[in-house]
Amino acid sequence: MSTRETIDFRKQVVEEVLEIYPEKAKKNRRQHIAVKDSECSSCAVKSNTKTVPGIMTARGCAYAGAKGVVWGPVKDVVHISHGPVGCGYYSWGNRRNLADGEIGVDNFVPFLFTSDFQESDIIYGGDKKLEKIISEVVGLFPNAKGVSVLSECPVGLIGDDIESVARRTSLEHNLPVIPVRCEGFRGISQSLGHHIANDAIRDHLIGKGPAREIGPYDIGIIGDYNIGGDAWASKKILEEMGLKVVNIWTGDSTLEMLQNGHLVKLNLIHCFRSMNYIAKYMEETYGTPWIEFNFFGPTKIKESILKIAAQFDERIMEKALKVIEKYTAPMQKVIDTYRPRLEGKSVMLYVGGLRPRHIVGAYEDLGMEVIGTGYEFAHKEDYEKTIPALKEGTLIYDDVTALELEEFVKKLKPDLVGSGIKEKYVFEKMGLPFRQMHSWDYSGPYHGYEGFPIFARDMDMAINSPTWKAIKAPWK
Amino acid sequence: METCTKVTKDWLNTQEYREKNFAREKLVINPAKACQPLGALLCALGIEGSLPFVHGSQGCAAYFRSTLSRHYREPVAAVSDSMTEDSAVFGGQSNLIEGLKNANTLYSPQVISIFTSCMAEVIGDDINAYLGNAKDQEAIPKDLPVALANTPSFKGSHITGYDSMLKGLIDCLAAPRQEDKLNERLYVVPGFDTYTANLREYKRLLKVMDTPYTLLPDQSEVLDAPNLGTYELYPGGTPITEMKDALNAASFLFTQTYSTPTTRKYLASKGVPVEVISMPIGIAGTDKFIESVAKITGKDVPEEITLERGRSIDAMTDAHQYIHGKKFALFGDPDVLIGVVSFLLEMGGEPVHIVCSNSTPLFKKAMESLLGSSPYGQGATLYAGKDLWHLRSLLVTDPVDMLIGDSHGKWAARDADIPLVRIGFPITDRVNLHRYPIVGYSGVINMITMIVNTFLEEKDRTSSDTYFEMMR
């Protein structure tokens, strides 16, 4: 098919799939789907709007964004899931944000702390209970550097005042207690939860840490949650370049790293969507500059290394070039191994904050093509950053519904689908290779030079697994 | 308190810390319980053509689906009506009506199973009235069955929600009982059971016993669906026709006690004969199941079952030496705990610490009576309403040989340097365990295999050359 024919075909697919909807839902959904064409007249998709009720969205809630994404990985803080037991239970131990530390001493990542609301708490309020809980935390975990209170739906509905409990207990215990108003009904996706979590860091932590001299090469990584060790893989490259990573937000991070986020020469922002707010705030308030970077796949890694090095002096640039040189041959070896097995294979993605665009280059390094992509909770500027990275004819879908994605996949017939746990087994039942691209399917890291060989191996393993060939019974 | 890392780490393992930990009044750390709507969703998945529908925040639906998918490694379908801040002010009626219309158009269910999450419960949404309005406004056809369950997350746990949804589904789908139109079916309710193989095992045993039956609900084809190269949204479940005829059942047999009280009460109020037994785990538990079925149907127990039982007994005597006298800690749901403890006692194993986060007074009584009935249960304590951080203190101060529970136990087991045998829900770090029954006589063999081989594997891995032997 020519590019024009591909574009026309995919536009027709969109129209066909939209026919599944009642009128009102169809009108809404049409605005969220587009095919990239040469003039790009139609590639603007609407985003960050309310999900249509009843359609099976993959989206989560503000609590998921604030606790699951931003706060949960901060390792030396006790995060209280404040409300009924469920939200904390479902977000317990399933995000793979690895942390280095003594569990129960200065690392609380593998825990679920909950106030386990009962009916009486709904009726009489949970503030007194919260106060007691915080004192119990302090008694049982003396090395915790702080406490965060992440409110679940009922807390906001019954009018509890967690801010004042936080103020009182913080003074009483001489410990930061941070209220995070991330009730699940706020906003329309995880996204507002990220924002609320950022605001809590801004209001309660930034600039409140022990003073520190800023070294000439001190940098921070913002918006890397260390899934499967991703942040450590990125850090390795940056330190080989002669830079000093003093903060990571929030993968494997500490309270002090949050307090001192502005005390660096440069902040590198990985997941723009979930942490742009605080990066912008640090720039406006403290003059801390920030740039985006992308450490997926050797092409993008090289571009990013050069872009980062250009912010520093000759010494760093020299080292940066050496790093690129050092890894060129090993990365080429990875490509030589896997590209012949993956060349020309197509991928459809549907993920969260940054991966629907950031991973495109890594697939291209392997000779693969992204033919469809979309975000669960992106905003306009995310799509603006995404469109240029895509080839003409790429299908773009925002907050795609389960049925839309199934239909798109059936019609576009990719060789691989990359999305989340809720989607994984649907496509595997169709006999389609799939990788979870939130959790790296329990593999990783995928970042940096350390991650690319693993990424390449995993994609090859998914697509070329002999298991797919066994699906059809010989007598059928 | 000295706060240096090493000192604190050691302190966590002391009796002093255990006492401080048990003095906790409000803080809950690592509880082994989820919330009601998760159970409701599991239940709703077990009815043919049923579309689970969360009335509340969409984040809840995402969490339930992910949690179940991680355990079963299967697709889990559920919609929500995505209530947001404005619903908090105006109520969730417009979301529910629009959601029903869209869900029905897109997913053509035979029944929609609505259950609530916190938001709808706290603001007091009247889902029954909303449903009536939805039908009046023709958002969905008047004759489309819609089952309702109120499942507030601040009461009970996932097993409570399972019960409420089950009652809602029967209430919605079943025609009134007519004494002259009774069917001859035995309706078997498995309860909150996350082993698809358990469900298949019940069906197999009932078939062997020549018993006309309905398993209600039945997620075995839904959450252990074959890979045939196509995705089916509704791959199985209890047939709607059998749901319709449920109140005309010859009898209902419940194989879990604590996840089903509301439904049993409801059925009894409709004049349906109801029998309840402990989850048939272990020999005595399975015997009771077989005898109950035989009693209800009036049929003799087939020889095949006697032989099958004999093979399990053979496996028990073959392996008794590896379990007898071993000390165990367990945690999980009440019904599973009763079953597994009963099995251990049959093997001469000694339960020591039993933690149940979603305990009830009735369960406590039953467990204490079970423990009291066996010489091997004398050293056991039930910790009702406690959590896995309590359990950790117990394990490090009063050691046992093995922990039995779901994947969440892996940290406590690691800290205590003992193996964890995974029985329960969720199991997210091992494959296929839900495909092996723990109920029935074959469940006995499977549990012996898991427990004994884990002990032997440990022994081999830790033996010096001198004691590394061919036979174990």
> What is the model's pLDDT at position A462?
98
- Do residues B259 and B163 touch, judged by C-beta distance below 8 A? yes
Cβ pair B62:A61 closer than 8 A = yes
**Partner residue opposite B8 with nearest CB, options A84, A105, A425:** A105
Q: How many Å apart are CA B147 and CA B139, to the nearest integer?
A: 16
Q: Which residue of B has its CA nearest to A422?
A: B66
ω into A298 cis (within 30 of 0)? no
Tokens representing A6? 């591909």
| Contacts B101 to A, Cβ<8 Å | 22, 54
| Contacts A187 to B, Cβ<8 Å | 84-85
Helix residue spans in B324-358 (DSSP H): 334-347
ω into A179 cis (within 30 of 0)? no
Give percent of chain B with pLDDT exceeding 70.
99
* B157 plus B196 within the same structural domain: no
* Tens-digit pLDDT profile for residues A196-222: 999 999 999 999 999 899 999 999 999
Tokens representing A1? 């098919």
| Contacts A92 to B, Cβ<8 Å | 30, 408
C-alpha of B327 from chain center: 25
Q: How many Å apart are CA B186 and CA B177, to the nearest integer?
A: 15
Q: How many Å apart are CA B157 and CA B167, to the nearest integer?
A: 16
**Partner residue opposite A22 with nearest CB, options B26, B102, B428:** B102
pLDDT at A53 exceeding the cut of 70? yes
pTM of the complete model: 0.98
* Tens-digit pLDDT profile for residues B423-446: 999 999 999 999 999 999 999 999
Give domain status of residue B155, yes or no.
Answer: yes
Cβ pair B63:A142 closer than 8 A = no
| Contacts A132 to B, Cβ<8 Å | 25-27
The secondary structure of B201-270 as a DSSP string is HHHHHHHHTT--EEESS--TTTSS---SSS--SS---B-HHHHHTGGG-SEEEES-STT-HHHHHHHHHT
Q: State whether the Cα torsion A239-A243-A249-A253 is positive or negative.
A: positive
Give domain status of residue B349, yes or no.
Answer: yes
Residue A1 pLDDT level (bands cut at 50, 70, 90): confident
* Residue B430 φ then ψ, to 5°: -140, 155
* B454 plus B360 within the same structural domain: yes
Of B145, B173, B201, which residue sits at a domain end?
Answer: B173
Provide the 3-class DSSP secondary structure of residue A245: strand
User: Could you tell me which residues are beta bridge partners of residue B403?
Assistant: B329, B420
Mutation choice for B interface testing from A17, A26, A55 by most B CBs within 10 A: A55
Tokens representing A369? 């093509």
Cβ pair B34:A429 closer than 8 A = no
pLDDT at A325 exceeding the cut of 50? yes
| Contacts A122 to B, Cβ<8 Å | 122, 154
Q: Report the catalytic residues of B.
A: 118, 122
**Partner residue opposite A111 with nearest CB, options B29, B36, B80:** B29
* B406 plus B451 within the same structural domain: yes
Mean pLDDT of B108-128: 98
Q: Which residue of B has its CA nearest to A467?
A: B227
Give domain status of residue B30, yes or no.
Answer: no
Q: From the CA of A237, how many Å to the nearest CA of chain B?
A: 30
Burial of A8 (0-12, 13-18, 19+ CB in 10 A): middle
* Tens-digit pLDDT profile for residues A240-286: 999 999 999 999 999 999 999 999 999 999 999 999 999 999 999 99
Mean pLDDT of B382-391: 98
* Domain assignment of residue B167, given as a range: 36-173
* B387 plus B284 within the same structural domain: no
Q: How many Å apart are CA B294 and CA B315, to the nearest integer?
A: 25
Using DSSP, how many helices (H) and how many strands (E) does chain B show? Answer: 19, 14
| Contacts B25 to A, Cβ<8 Å | 132, 136
Tokens representing B146? 């819609």
**Partner residue opposite B102 with nearest CB, options A55, A113, A139:** A55
Q: How many Å apart are CA B59 and CA B123, to the nearest integer?
A: 17
> What is the model's pLDDT at position A43?
73
- Other Cβ atoms less than 10 A from the Cβ of A310: the count is 11
Burial of B189 (0-12, 13-18, 19+ CB in 10 A): buried
Q: From the CA of A420, how many Å to the nearest CA of chain B?
A: 9
Tell me how many residue pairs between chain A and chain B have CB atoms under 8 A apart.
Answer: 259
pLDDT at B3 exceeding the cut of 80? no
Q: From the CA of A324, how many Å to the nearest CA of chain B?
A: 37
**Partner residue opposite B82 with nearest CB, options A51, A132, A406:** A51
Max Cα-Cα span within chain A: 74
Residues 6 or more apart whose Cβ sits within 8 Å of residue A297: A359, A361, A362, A363, A364, A365, A366, A452, A455
Q: Which residue of B has its CA nearest to A426?
A: B75
Residue B1 pLDDT level (bands cut at 50, 70, 90): very low
Burial of A67 (0-12, 13-18, 19+ CB in 10 A): buried
Q: From the CA of A51, how many Å to the nearest CA of chain B?
A: 7
Residues 6 or more apart whose Cβ sits within 8 Å of residue A128: none
pLDDT at A41 exceeding the cut of 70? no
* B161 plus B280 within the same structural domain: no
Domain count, chain B: 3
Nearest one of A144, A84, A133 to A108, comparing CA atoms: A144
Q: How many Å apart are CA A104 and CA A82, to the nearest integer?
A: 19
Mean pLDDT of B300-316: 98
* Tens-digit pLDDT profile for residues B179-214: 999 999 999 999 999 999 999 999 999 999 999 999
| Contacts A50 to B, Cβ<8 Å | 82, 84
| Contacts B62 to A, Cβ<8 Å | 57-61, 64, 422
Place of tokens 């060989």: A453
What is the helix, strand, coil percentage profile of chain B, to 5? 50, 10, 35
* B342 plus B256 within the same structural domain: no
Give domain status of residue B90, yes or no.
Answer: yes
* Tens-digit pLDDT profile for residues B247-260: 999 999 999 999 99
Give domain status of residue B201, yes or no.
Answer: yes
- Do residues B367 and B388 touch, judged by C-beta distance below 8 A? no
Mutation choice for B interface testing from A89, A96, A102, A118 by most B CBs within 10 A: A89
Nearest one of A383, A376, A382, A405 to A187, comparing CA atoms: A376
- Other Cβ atoms less than 10 A from the Cβ of B227: the count is 15
Of B151, B173, B195, which residue sits at a domain end?
Answer: B173
Cβ pair B76:A422 closer than 8 A = yes
* B72 plus B139 within the same structural domain: yes
| Contacts A25 to B, Cβ<8 Å | 102, 105
* B240 plus B110 within the same structural domain: no
User: Could you tell me which residues are beta bridge partners of residue A370?
Assistant: A347
The ipTM of this complex is: 0.98
Cβ pair B153:A121 closer than 8 A = no
Q: Report the catalytic residues of A.
A: 61, 64, 95, 194
Cβ pair B231:A110 closer than 8 A = no
- Do residues B218 and B202 touch, judged by C-beta distance below 8 A? no
**Partner residue opposite B70 with nearest CB, options A20, A60, A421:** A421
Q: How many CA atoms lie within 13 A of A229 on its CB side?
A: 13
Give domain status of residue B368, yes or no.
Answer: yes
Mean pLDDT of B292-309: 97
Of B173, B206, B236, which residue sits at a domain end?
Answer: B173
* B132 plus B186 within the same structural domain: no
Nearest one of A329, A441, A437 to A376, comparing CA atoms: A437
Provide the 3-class DSSP secondary structure of residue B46: coil
* B46 plus B117 within the same structural domain: yes
- Do residues A354 and A271 touch, judged by C-beta distance below 8 A? yes
Tokens representing B39? 């159970």
Cβ pair A56:B84 closer than 8 A = no
Cβ pair A106:B118 closer than 8 A = no
Q: Which residue of B has its CA nearest to A431?
A: B229
Mutation choice for B interface testing from A26, A90, A96 by most B CBs within 10 A: A90
| Contacts B78 to A, Cβ<8 Å | 56
* B376 plus B399 within the same structural domain: yes
Nearest one of B156, B56, B28 to A126, comparing CA atoms: B28
Residue A42 pLDDT level (bands cut at 50, 70, 90): low
Mean pLDDT of B31-41: 98
Give domain status of residue B383, yes or no.
Answer: yes
* B160 plus B188 within the same structural domain: no
Mean pLDDT rounded to a whole number for chain A: 97
- Radius of gyration for the alpha carbons in chain B, expressed in angstroms and rounded: 23
Give, in degrees to the nearest 5, the angle at Cα A341 between A338 and A347: 95
* Tens-digit pLDDT profile for residues A99-158: 999 999 999 999 999 999 999 999 999 999 999 999 999 999 999 999 999 999 999 999
pLDDT at A353 exceeding the cut of 90? no
User: What is the DSSP-derived secondary structure letter of residue A375?
Assistant: B
**Partner residue opposite A425 with nearest CB, options B24, B62, B75:** B75
Cβ pair B28:A184 closer than 8 A = no
Give domain status of residue B229, yes or no.
Answer: yes
CATH number of the domain at B279, please.
Answer: 3.40.50.1980
Residues 6 or more apart whose Cβ sits within 8 Å of residue B177: B247, B248, B270, B271, B272
